[in-house]
Structure 1
């Protein structure tokens, strides 16, 4: 295995961009949902639920297919095929004159970005393991954190200047640019001699084995819980900022843009702390901080905007510690089935995102209190999942 510090920056940036494409595809639309709803003559709430919910559902399920497929065919053809599907779906969305065509395009987008997201993690696992993998994933997360932070601001600016259809043209260009970058910079990371040809039965048994393996499940569930809470934060924080604190769309975008720096700090800190204390300890610390952020947010109603910002940053820093360390712990023992393990990890993350986002949106009471409960719950679930050190002593298979 190579040294993580020796990874060429273009290689790292390409994998980070692949990982960020799914979040970009969702968050760039958020400021424009009212305009899209008006143009297509549909209810805004129904449009948001359909556009976001369908994307997450298809994204989650598609990952279960593309991961094992890449273990059999190699990473390159599956990534490029996925990006081609993503570009076609984006073109359909840009041309949509009615909701059904928009939703069909969103489904294709989700299928395509599933390949990009899963195989960015699998490609990293193909070349690294253990502390090196954790360090690389931390660096990837630092770069990809810009997507949820800056994409709403970017989306608002593009929509204001060129209209909502231009958002999907931007996504088309991003997909084409990533395909070119992958071919020219990353290439194939899984040699033919390491590929696995599995029957449907063997594939199912592989998933069952992963689900029953505590080396995978404990860090995977911790990562899924914390990222599910993060998606809930993306979905609910704009409403809290707008309704409770009077933020404009631009101010909401700027809030998310500045919050990126908290995740940057966590991504830079996680590798150093992992080298000092070990990944399981850093995972538990991050989960505890995330939970504390949610609890403090629930108790800080009287503190106003300052209280919301401080507690949100505490949650985001904890999340930034859990994500790369949990992912590395989940994937390291499974070198021979990295695609399948990454696919199942991604499925669990998106399932948790759908569940916790829906929970935050439907809990009764004030939006800030509902969000705080979900953030605290996600942190608690992550802490409980990472409570044992079983994963720390796992050896790669």
Structure 2
């Protein structure tokens, strides 16, 4: 046990390395990989299962709801029993859900598989932030979260392209084989390269009552809840764009499945550039100021989408989304670091509550994007604009309360 503590303390003072970034990125990204990789295959899956594209949207909202609720359980367990058991157990459950989804012959079974997937993979996602907080503080934490966020954005960006290629060449069930293999590989390298980062002397023996009280304290603490709500609303605009993309890009603009995948892949570079710029700009101008700038930029992107035609060209849609993604890429890692920074001992619970709020907001906006009867572009632009406006107000209130 002493050796484990010494290793963890040594890691905490080491510079951020490519190995740690890769592992954190993998943990954060696998949940998003399994979210978006099936989007281009919706028409094929719907045809195979005899359901409409709108009904296929239930596979997203059910995934997000389960993901959100599961994190509330994972966080306290990880603070009590350590990170490694929860990460590996979660990835094993994810593989089981992947098998169920890959063998599905009805929408109900597919949704069940997606629910089991989400229940397992939420552990990897929520604990990627907690592990980063275990190992780093201050600017190093912000940089770690920025690089992790790039991977989190890259997964939903590149995964539709992978999903499109797989569904066209090998069939949609091959998609589930790919994500299952990715989970197995990630578990192997996690054990070999990182392992436990939350030593026994820092663990909290939470009871059910203490968990509820701890979550209540976090929810009342303006240092956490205001930036957490703000970043969750910002991300909800991104998830809404995922839900609306098939209708806008494939039905509206007329892109093929492969072209839609290429579009998503191209947007990754915007988030990559913003994520790389965020820590440097924060070092010069302050994390709070750059977060506000990012929210404002994302709000402008939603406004452009709403102000344009209900049947936009690919160029106008791309400009609007690039503006939104650049702002989100600046604000999200810095705002997340601001929310989690003061809560090192409760990093698991803070990350879990942040993840719950984020996925809850995502479930709401993806549901709205699916059920509102306005033109898809109008719906998406309105969601992004309103979400960013409320996010800005909440983040500014944090400055006043601080």
Displacement after TM superposition at 1:75 (Å): 0.2
Q: Distance in 1 between matches of 2:245 and 2:109?
A: 29
Separation in 1, partners of 2:305, 2:198:
45
Aligned to 1:346: 355
Name the CA distance, whole Å, in 2 between partners of 1:365 and 1:390.
36
The SS at the match of 2:46 is helix
Given the alignment of the two structures, is residue 334 of structure 1 paired with residue 343 of structure 2, yes or no? yes
Deviations 1:170-209 (A, max 9, x none): 1110110010011011111101100000111000000000
Q: Is residue 366 of structure 1 aligned with residue 375 of structure 2?
A: yes
CA drift at 1:29: 0.7
> Structure 2: which 5+ residue stretches go unaligned?
1-8
1:81 is the counterpart of 2:89:
yes
Q: Name the counterpart of 1:218.
A: 226
> Does 2:22 correspond to 1:10?
no
- Relative to the length of structure 1, the TM-score reads 0.94
Q: Is contact 2:226-2:395 (8 Å) kept?
A: yes
| SS of equivalent residue, structure 1 residue 335 | coil
1:86 deviates by: 0.5
Shift of 1:5: 8.6
2:267 maps to 1:265? no
1: CA distance between counterparts of 2:174 and 2:253? 30
1:23 aligns with 2:46: no
Within 5 Å, give how 1:227-376 maps onto structure 2: 227-301=235-309, 304-376=313-385
**Aligned to 1:336, what secondary structure does the other structure show?**
coil
User: Which digits, 9 at most, give the CA deviation of each residue in 1:192-241, with x for residues without a partner?
Assistant: 10000011100000000011000001110111001111000111133212
Which ranges of structure 1 fall in alignment gaps of 5 or more residues?
none
What is the rounded CA distance, in whole Å, between the counterparts of 1:165 and 1:136 in structure 2? 34
Match of 2:163 in 1: 155
Asked if residue 130 in structure 1 is aligned to residue 149 in structure 2, the reply is no
Task: Output the CA distance in 2 between the equivalents of 1:389 and 1:276.
Answer: 21
Distance (Å, rounded) in 2 between the aligned partners of 1:358 and 1:98: 21
Contact map agreement 1:284 1:383 (CA 8 A) in 2:
yes
Deviates more, 1:152-161 or 1:359-368: 359-368
| 2:148 equivalent to 1:103 | no
Render the CA deviation track for 1:79-127: whole Å, top value 9, x for unaligned.
0000010111111222223333322221110011110000011000001
Aligned residue pairs total 392
Match of 1:119?
127
Higher mean displacement: 168-177 or 365-374: 365-374
Partner of 1:41: 50
Task: Summarize deviations over 1:240-284 as a string: whole Å, max 9, x none.
Answer: 122332222111111111011110111011001111121111111
- Cα distance in 1 for partners of 2:214, 2:163 equals 40
Measure, in 1, the Cα distance between the counterparts of 2:33 and 2:278.
24
Output the aligned Cα RMSD. 1.9
- The one of 193, 199, 205 aligned to 2:201: 193
Distance 2:69 2:218 in 1: 16
Equivalents in 1 of 2:219, 2:261: separation in Å? 38
Contact 2:61-2:367 within 8 A present in 1 as well: no
1:303 is displaced (CA, Å) by 7.1
The 1-side partners of 2:140 and 2:400 are apart by 16
State the distance in 2 between where 1:359 and 1:181 align. 38
TM-score by length of 2: 0.93
